[in-house]
Structure 1
Amino acid sequence: MTPTAERVRSIPAVLARSARRHPEHIAVDEGELRLTYAELESRSRQLGKALLALGLAPGERIAVWAPNGHRWLLAALGALMAGAVLVPLSTRLKAAEAADILRRSGARVLFSVGEFLGSYYPELLAGQVLVDLERTVVIEQARDGDSSWEDFLASAEAIPDAVLDARIETLDENSLSDLMFTSGTTGYPKGVLCAHGQNLRLFDNWGETVGLGADDRYLIVNPFFHAFGFKAGWLAALIRGATILPQRTFDAEDVLRRVEQDRVTFLPGPPALYSAMLEHPRRGDFDLTSLRVAVTGAASVPPVLVQRMGSELGFDSVLTAYGLTESCGLATLCRPGDDVQTVAGTCGRPLEGIEIRCVDGEGRALPSGEVGEVLIRGFNLMRGYFNDAQATAEAIDADGWLRTGDVGVVDERGYLRITDRLKDMFIVGGFNCYPAEVERLMMEHAAIAQVAVVGVPDVRQGEVGKAFVILRPGHDLTADALIAWCRQHMANYKVPRHVEFVRSLPLNASGKLLKRDLRSA
């Protein structure tokens, strides 16, 4: 392992170290705009000073609601320099979902994109009660009357560098760095707290294992608001000194073009990303010879896909991984040189300092080869759920083991294979989707009496939602109309792609819903 993460105490300190080591090396490349590591640190410091000018106290929450881009990075890094806890918001969230996270996190400042995907994002929050939110800064295309990026940064002049340096010096390995909201079986998102030190240690190890280095040009398609795009994305790149190429939205042809144009070497993503690249009719028109490393996960990976990623896309190394938001996003990882069947059939083995085991229904450890619930223990476990001690205690036992809710098996080599999920969560194009949350949102429709959602196989996305709906008496509704309504009220990946209207739902003797019967329906 490189000494980077061992010698520094915080994410801002890692950025400062990278800026000292190679100040003229390109840190962020967005085509017409390029920032060296020295410039990235300098601009992030300006943002941090602007936050201190607001009187920001250590530990206060700062939210970012925007697509991948250099200003997302500046907002995040500046917030961390100011001692804030970063709250990433998915650009897929609808107004009520985003407002719920802003309220529950107590975010004081929101950095929001302006026009994006046909909406002006700050306007989406109109009418929402957000008592803690003092300021919304529109990072691009601000409308008249809104706080613009430039206006906000102007306030940094009032804060001396020494004041920001003093705030950065207060940070150590145990200082909280991020609050990422993940849904659960209750149907309500839970805030996962992680610290600077564990993130640095984990993703320095990840970067070394997968071979990420300063010469790499890392196209980050995974959203910055997701652990895959944040921690295994730009954070890992900063730790290792690589060049970050943010991808604003996913389009297969645009990715192929950028690989050729920007000589991309490093391209992690969900299996759907590589499938889209492979199946694109013009793939052969692009020079993909620069591609070197792919890291995937979050869904089953067919061996034929791994083979084609090497033979047709040209990757020298294809690796798979497994983790949860509650484990800082990572727990196990394949190693370079693992054969195709290992990469496709397992999620790898634990990284240094992390343990996994499978247990039976009574919590007893099972020998290798036997299927049980997957438990994780190590330095990478969250510091707890935000303002929810009970949920934290239910997730992590007295011996420090995190219950994942996933069912798997560990082989004699220590490699993990996920076989099922105790929780009903399914994965849509790399995004975790929790039926209880979707059901809660759908129950707000006036025509719905009961609803149950399960994941079903899908060729393109891996899995998608299917909703079984009981209508209220006297109401009429079509599947297309309900799906359209869902698109207006929840993030796209949560929207069920299939709807079946039923007269009843299968229940056991105690009245518990039998979702296994729905999956086989």
Structure 2
Amino acid sequence: MEKSGYGKDGIFRSLRPPLRLPKDENTDMVSFMFRDSSSYAHRLALADADSGEKLSFREFKDKVSLVGSGLSQLGIRKGDVVLLFSPNSIYFPLCFFGIVSIGAVATTVNPLYTAMEVAKQVRDSKPKLIITVPELWNKVEGLNLPAVVIGGDGCHKRLPTSPFISFSEVLTMGAQKNPPDVIIKQTDTAALFYSSGTTGINKGVVLNHRNFVAAALMMTSDQELKGERHLTFLCLLPMFHIYGLGFGAYGQLQRGNAVVSMGKFTFVRMLEVIQEYKITHLPLVPPIVIAVAKENIVARYDLSSLKKVMSGAAPLGKDIMEECAKRIPQAAVTQGYGLTESCGIATITFPKERNSHFGSAGTLVPGLEAKIVNLETGRSLPPNQSGEVWLRGPNIMTGYFNNPNATKMTLDKEGWLHTGDMGYFDDEGGLFIVDRIKELIKYKGFQVPPAELEGLLLTHPQIVDAGVIPLPDLNAGEVPIAYVVRTPGSSLTEKDVMAYVAKQVAPFKRLHRINFVDSIPKSSSGKILRRELIAKTKSKL
């Protein structure tokens, strides 16, 4: 095997020590998370930067058990889906782990979603129960599903239309009875995270207990190697997303690290929280790393506790990483790459590569294999040649929920996940992502599927055709813009179209520019030729 991890069979393998997964088939992710916790029962597990609440590992474990027991008394059984619709708080992990501890399946929704977008996910995942917060109630009250409202005590007056109980009532019910004895296998489904995958429509990514356990061990293998424990992670990444929940919360809690959650993000508040809680590890998305590199206010705060700043969810350029490293000289600035379909992890910067590998998304985590495949010939490529990134390992999803066609297109018979990302490995095994075959627009780390916006535009009576593409943007990474064909004689303006879309989608999906054209370029099979639209836009810049 070469220094890059490349083998004669065309497969890149991890250069890190091997992965050791639990042998017992009946290991669920929650009991695995608490496997050592009695030895650090009094240490901080969770803190809420917004409310100031804190839980030790013992309290955290007890509360998860109460939530599981309470939910089972509400009739939730193994395999039932529960929808979690809430911003970050100390309650988010309690609910998520409570759900999966009894063998039920958690599905998470972006709090920014409109009622229409939430309803779509409800139709697909068919949850038996919704867990939400009072301020999001208006988006789910029309679904006529039973609900648990976090912080819903005393707000019965405001929430009259559906059977719901408060979260504290669930805990009270949980205390009256032990949680049920359920046998949960590693192969049982734990969660459905919705992602656009390699094509434009949102699909439920089926992740089982084994995926989470494997990914958690992969994410923390460097801590294991260095003997690090009881670090403090700031989780301002949304926990409805696999990066926030898998890497920011579960991966760290199972290692005995403390997780400080932040629900309402402002840049200044983030700096205050780092100072206040002596945060050691800071997982971020590129727009926030850019702010750390460029905002002068950073110098006013004591960030000396930081050991590591990690970036993920979208590629981050070498220059920004260098600037950020100058701002926080004692911390390593690293980057990782993963997908919802790989349970949030694939590569991460290796400690010994500290600040020498800027621009790379890091090297393969233990237990994961990769191929770089030429799309024309289907052949595996050696280092320094670009092709589609394929991944295989115990963290890879089992498929898309109720969608055998999409699964077949993304996961092949040999277990390779075709990521839809173009990239290459260098001679040292560092992965560089150069482009996306898939058409997703990445706005501040959020996924914006062009197909969804095109479908919405076509519902306007004065729009005949539409194509949506990304426009590079310094702050957001990319913003969605549209090419629109109006009906003959229509006086529709750019403002009209933007307002029409804005009313129906989350803020990050809003269109930033409209170009009116006579026709949208398409292939013979009717597919929109986005590359032509992108080229057209570039020629005007």
TM-score (norm 2): 0.88
Q: Which of 366, 369, 394 is the aligned partner of 1:355?
A: 369
Partner secondary structure for residue 475 of structure 1: coil
Q: Which of 276, 284, 294 is the aligned partner of 1:279?
A: 294
Render the CA deviation track for 1:384-439: whole Å, top value 9, x for unaligned.
11112222122111222111111112223332211111111121111222211221
State the alpha-carbon separation in 1 of the partners of residues 372 and 237 from structure 2. 29
**Is this contact kept in 2: 1:441–1:490, CA < 8 A?**
no
State the alpha-carbon separation in 2 of the partners of residues 418 and 510 from structure 1. 29
Q: Sort the Cα spacing of 1:3 and 1:416 in 2 relative to 1 into closer, same or farther, 3 A.
A: closer
State the alpha-carbon separation in 2 of the partners of residues 313 and 482 from structure 1. 43
Q: Sort the Cα spacing of 1:4 and 1:406 in 2 relative to 1 into closer, same or farther, 3 A.
A: closer
Partner residue of 1:151? 169
Q: Sort the Cα spacing of 1:328 and 1:3 in 2 relative to 1 into closer, same or farther, 3 A.
A: closer
How far is the alpha carbon of 1:42 from its aligned partner? 0.8
State the alpha-carbon separation in 2 of the partners of residues 348 and 227 from structure 1. 19
Q: Which AA in structure 2 matches 1:139?
A: I
Q: Sort the Cα spacing of 1:293 and 1:490 in 2 relative to 1 into closer, same or farther, 3 A.
A: same
Q: Which of 136, 149, 157 is the aligned partner of 2:147?
A: 136
Render the CA deviation track for 1:17-60: whole Å, top value 9, x for unaligned.
24312111011112531111110111111111111112222111
Q: Which AA in structure 2 matches 1:320?
A: Q
Q: Which of 68, 71, 80 is the aligned partner of 1:51?
A: 71
How far is the alpha carbon of 1:2 from its aligned partner? 11
How far is the alpha carbon of 1:509 from its aligned partner? 5.8
Q: Which of 500, 507, 519 is the aligned partner of 1:492?
A: 507
Which has the larger displacement, 481-490 or 190-199? Answer: 481-490
Q: Sort the Cα spacing of 1:283 and 1:185 in 2 relative to 1 into closer, same or farther, 3 A.
A: closer
Equivalent residues in 2 for 1:174-185 (5 A)?
174-184=187-197
How far is the alpha carbon of 1:287 from its aligned partner? 0.9
Partner secondary structure for residue 220 of structure 2: helix
Q: Which of 256, 264, 285 is the aligned partner of 1:270?
A: 285
**Is this contact kept in 2: 1:184–1:437, CA < 8 A?**
no
Partner residue of 1:124? 139
Partner residue of 1:68? 88
1:81 aligns with 2:94: no
Partner secondary structure for residue 337 of structure 1: helix
How far is the alpha carbon of 1:186 from its aligned partner? 5.5
Q: Which of 409, 429, 440 is the aligned partner of 2:444?
A: 429
Q: Sort the Cα spacing of 1:513 and 1:242 in 2 relative to 1 into closer, same or farther, 3 A.
A: same
State the alpha-carbon separation in 1 of the partners of residues 329 and 464 from structure 2. 51
Q: Which AA in structure 1 matches 2:514?
A: V
State the alpha-carbon separation in 2 of the partners of residues 103 and 357 from structure 1. 36
Q: Which AA in structure 1 matches 2:293?
A: L
**Is this contact kept in 1: 2:315–2:361, CA < 8 A?**
no
State the alpha-carbon separation in 1 of the partners of residues 512 and 304 from structure 2. 36
TM-score (norm 1): 0.91
CA RMSD of aligned residues (A): 2.2
State the alpha-carbon separation in 1 of the partners of residues 312 and 47 from structure 2. 26
Q: Which AA in structure 1 matches 2:229?
A: A
Q: Which AA in structure 1 matches 2:80?
A: E
Partner residue of 1:118? none
How far is the alpha carbon of 1:365 from its aligned partner? 1.4
**Structure 1: segments with no counterpart, 5+ residues:** 116-120
**Is this contact kept in 2: 1:253–1:277, CA < 8 A?**
no
State the alpha-carbon separation in 2 of the partners of residues 109 and 381 from structure 1. 27
Render the CA deviation track for 1:136-166: whole Å, top value 9, x for unaligned.
111124442442222333322442x2x43x2
Q: Which AA in structure 1 matches 2:433?
A: I
State the alpha-carbon separation in 2 of the partners of residues 323 and 25 from structure 1. 30
Partner residue of 2:4? none
| Residue correspondences, number | 506
Q: Sort the Cα spacing of 1:149 and 1:212 in 2 relative to 1 into closer, same or farther, 3 A.
A: farther
Partner secondary structure for residue 77 of structure 2: coil
**Is this contact kept in 1: 2:421–2:435, CA < 8 A?**
yes
Q: Which of 202, 222, 237 is the aligned partner of 2:215?
A: 202
Partner residue of 1:29? 47
**Structure 2: segments with no counterpart, 5+ residues:** 1-16
Render the CA deviation track for 1:451-503: whole Å, top value 9, x for unaligned.
11111110101111111111223433332332233222112222222221222
Equivalent residues in 2 for 1:404-415 (5 A)?
404-415=419-430
Percent identity (aligned): 29
Partner secondary structure for residue 32 of structure 2: helix
Equivalent residues in 2 for 1:151-300 (5 A)?
151-159=169-177, 161=178, 163-164=179-180, 166-167=181-182, 170-184=183-197, 187-209=200-222, 213-300=228-315
